[in-house]
Chain A
Amino acid sequence: MIGGAPGAQESERTRLALMSVYLLIVIACYTITRAARDSLLVAGVGPSQLPLLYILTAAGIGGVAAIYPKALSARGVRSVVRWTTLVAIVCLVVFWRAVERGGRLPLYALYVWVSVFGAVVVSQAWSLANHALDAREARRGFAWIGLGGVVGGILGGGLAGFVASWYGAPVLLPMSAALLAATFWIVRRLESVEARARGGPAARRRRDNPGGAEEGLRGNRKESSYVSTLASLLFAGVIVEAFIDYEFKTIAGQGFASADRLAAYFGGITSCGGVLALLTQSFLTQRVLKRCGAGAAIVLLPIALLIAFLLVAAQPTLWAVSILKLTDGCLSYSVHRSGMELLYLPISARARAAAKARMDTLVDRGGRAVGGVLLLALTAGFALSLSTLSLVASGALVVWLGIALTARRGYVEAFRTALARRAIEPEGLRPRGLDRTTRRALEAALTGTDERQTLYALSLLGLSHSEVWRSRLPSLLQHPSAAVREETVSLLTASKTLTPEVEPLWTDASLDVRVQAVRHFCEAGPQMARSTLRELLANADYRVVLAAVHYCARYRPSDADLIGARTIERALVITGADSVAARTAAAQALGVVRVPRARQFLNRLLDDPNPEVAKKAIWACGQRGHRSVIPRLIAMLAERSLRWEATEALLKMGNPALRELLRRFNDDATPMNVRRRIPKVCSMFGSQEVADLFIDGIHHMSPVLDIPLTKALNRMRSRSGRIRFEPPRVVRLIEEEARMRDGFRAIQRAIRRRRDEQGTHGTGEIADLLERALGERLDESRHRVLRFLHLIYDPVDIRTVQFNVSASPERRAGAVEFLDNLLTPALRELVVPIVEGRENESGREREELSCDEALQTLLEGDDAWLKAIARELVDRSTPARAASLQPELCRG
């Protein structure tokens, strides 16, 4: 029956059949055990205990639901299925023996167990189905699997009625166990079938190890241990919170006779706590963090609570417990919370997200549960008084304090490690400012010899507005690293602190340091900027002049007009070590200031043999809008080292550049390596006219240009919301692409058929190569089709599909399923078979070609690479055949 399922692919039929039988068996087992359970309970105990059993069942399922996803994630679905089945079989046998011995307890236990068993195995069966089938297969096959489940229910019920009437209800339990044992074989068979379908053990390992994403977190043991400390800290806090809540409500309940007064009291305490928290956050939190650090912030709350609990222990009165509640409300949502947030800072971003999620779910809920159980035991079990309960809470607080101190040490250590790994995001610091611990760690890094750490610390400290660390900067002016010296001067300039110690750096060996030194004197003391710059540009030492010109070019101060033709001329005639830097500075300066004979200077610099100088000259042309150089800039698009600058300059020149670009693109005389680059540049102009022109160009120019044109259109679609692509034009492109694909497939089949029927005659390698090349053309065509869809659908959706289509067969199936739901019916019919690679089902095939016709088609086509392979194949075939196909090939 399943073998004939419409649309079911050959490779998935066995898996579908196995999954159907699997669900049939487990549902049958569940139906049989349920029948046994209900009959045994009603007969042996009666229905009066059912409400209690419902509650117990809910608790049992809740417990399993908490553990089950983790087990799935850690062990993989197949392993969990095997273990669950084994445990279920053992349980069924044990229950069978226990029920036969008599007594009520086994019946209660059986009742709860069967309910949990039913919930687990059914969910497990669908997990297994999801695992065994990809999204497309699932779409086709899930109905059949479900049918297996329905049949299992019918069969199980019938079997239970029949067997129980003959052998008694308890026998149903071992019978279920025996049935369940059969599923071991099914799971094993499923595994081997799936491995063959998916490409071997590697794919299986990937699918069976969904927890791989957490490997990175587990891999970093130091970080992991620190996260555990944070979890313990939170856990302790949540437990103590349960004590606070209990004592507060108990004493309040005793203190107020009426519900109205109690409600008023609760409201008053809550609002007072809120006001106190606001005040604390506004006036205390930042001070505590800055002066004492995060370590102190996280011990403040437990210390305050300890005092408050001792107070309650001494006098368990309303005012004492009010102080306790207010202390908690005031500190826990202000200083303590800010301190806790800081503690996450040294954890890498990826681990942080996982850790926070785990804290919010597991640790928080676990802590509350443990707190509840503890309270239950201490109050109901040991009947402790509130004073004694407060002493117990004080003990918990001491533990909390101990963990907080450990976390404080761990924080410093983790911070140090993160600093060395450059793992702290500046955004993480910006909103909070720097706490003392952080600042000290960064200041310590400033005194180190490690250039990377020092620079990183400087960049982080630069974000804070603290004056304290700035006093350390002058000492870094002598740092052996030029990058550190440069960054130091830059920070001093930014802080407007004119520092005379910077002056010697005018003649520093590093040009970048010299530029920063010049900038410092021009910008840190603004009242004398112009005179200082004039003095520096006329300096006898050319290194200083060079730095001053670079400063003008890079930072464009208003005084840059001090640079004149003479300065440029001087730069162009400099020889020796500084010659390149001088010409670079001259080119850069020409882009900033108006200088007589600028065009002449720039033409000379565009021809400079040094690419850095040429790049700056191109940039300057763009800045000054020298249109006469547009043809030269377009030609430069073929030069790798100058391409980017030429593009930028052309964009800067606007429409005149765009017109020339389009003219050159349509001109067959333009070299192909330039034409291939033009669509990308044009796409950056974001013009509707360009988009229309390009969309009409696809499939009508050289095939080499199809990809650059399509990419350019995609870029325009992604970057410019103004551009519209008419769906009918895009559909036409996809239809043309489908026709091309049909042609390639026909040629591919002809070559394959010839090889199968007549052998290769020594040309097997070439024929294989041709077949492979044709396959690649089909892949490229599929990507182009997706790129066309990108023009009329949400680019993010289509990019997701593109990524998943290339990633793996399983992901491709999911992507196709997504497309199936995304596209309009007409497009779906056209595109889905292309992406799935099953166009032969669509009936769009051409007539079959002979091998000679196929080769002739390639030889007459305009695909240079396929033509080259076809020609080689013809050359190596018999001379007569070669002559019949291509007479000219035989003449030589």
Chain B
Amino acid sequence: MGGLWMSAVEKVLFLQRVDIFKYATTEMLAYIGAVAEVVVTPSAFVIFSEQEMSDAMYVVVRGRVRLEKDGREIILIGPGQSAGAWALFDHSPRLMSAVALEETVLLKIRSETFYEFLADHDEVTPAIFKAVIERVKGLTADTL
């Protein structure tokens, strides 16, 4: 995977669509963008594999990514959509694999870097908590 330069504003335009950052302010997103790496993957590149320990989340900037389980396509994601957002908090085996369907540009946020970032920007933590709690509530409501 190679690198590519993106401005802080461009990164924010993509990060603001990620569910888990929905309550973060644009400036917080700019800080998060600063710890996000821009990676370019060739076509058919396996971004992460099922059962592999999760260590990062990805946001698609350009191209398409196929999320699959046991070789079966679960969903196709495109620009502005993210994969593995929970990996930021959960070091557990991945439930799906992600494969680039074409040359793809991604924003990658490593969970370790993200934790470091949160420790230095405590003002971001409540916004992340709020989104996580909302998601958990949603899941609970769906289950009940």
Contacts and interface: CB of A to CB of B under 8 A. Distances in A.
Interface of A: 640, 673, 765-766, 769, 772-773, 776, 865, 868-869, 872
Given A769-B26, A776-B25, A865-B27, A640 B9 contact: no
Contacts of B120: 640, 673
- Summarize A's interface: helix, strand, loop or mixed: helix
A640 B118 CA distance: 10
Contacts of B30: 865, 868
10 contacts: A769-B9, A772-B26, A773-B25, A776-B25, A776-B26, A868-B7, A868-B30, A869-B9, A872-B7, A872-B9
B12 A769 contact: yes
A345 to B, nearest CB: 31
Interface of B: 7-10, 12-13, 16, 25-27, 30, 116, 119-120
Contacts of B119: 640
A304 B116 CA distance: 68
B27 A776 contact: yes
Contacts of B9: 766, 769, 868-869, 872
Given A868-B8, A872-B7, A765 B13 contact: yes
A334 B13 CA distance: 70
- Summarize B's interface: helix, strand, loop or mixed: helix
A671 B9 CA distance: 24
A868 B12 CA distance: 11
Tell me which of B12, B26, B119 has the highest count of chain A C-beta atoms within 10 A of its own C-beta.
B26
Contacts of B116: 640
A673 B117 CA distance: 13
A776 B123 CA distance: 14
Given A640-B116, A640-B119, A765-B13, A773 B8 contact: no
Contacts of A872: 7, 9-10
Nearest to A772: B26
Nearest to B120: A640
B125 to A, nearest CB: 13
Contacts of B10: 872
B26 A865 contact: yes
Nearest to A640: B119
A601 B17 CA distance: 52
Nearest to B7: A872
A773 B30 CA distance: 11
A558 to B, nearest CB: 39
Given A765-B13, A776-B25, A868-B30, 16 more contacts: A640-B116, A640-B119, A766-B9, A769-B12, A769-B13, A773-B26, A773-B27, A776-B27, A865-B26, A865-B27, A868-B8, A868-B9, A869-B9, A869-B26, A872-B7, A872-B10
A773 B119 CA distance: 23
Contacts of B12: 769
A640 B13 CA distance: 29
Nearest to A876: B9
A855 B7 CA distance: 18
A224 to B, nearest CB: 19
B22 to A, nearest CB: 12
A773 B27 CA distance: 7
A445 B91 CA distance: 34
Contacts of B27: 773, 776, 865
Contacts of A673: 120
A765 B120 CA distance: 29
A640 B8 CA distance: 24
B91 to A, nearest CB: 20
Contacts of A772: 26
A766 B30 CA distance: 13
B8 to A, nearest CB: 6
A765 B13 CA distance: 7
Contacts of A869: 9, 26
Contacts of A773: 25-27
B116 to A, nearest CB: 7
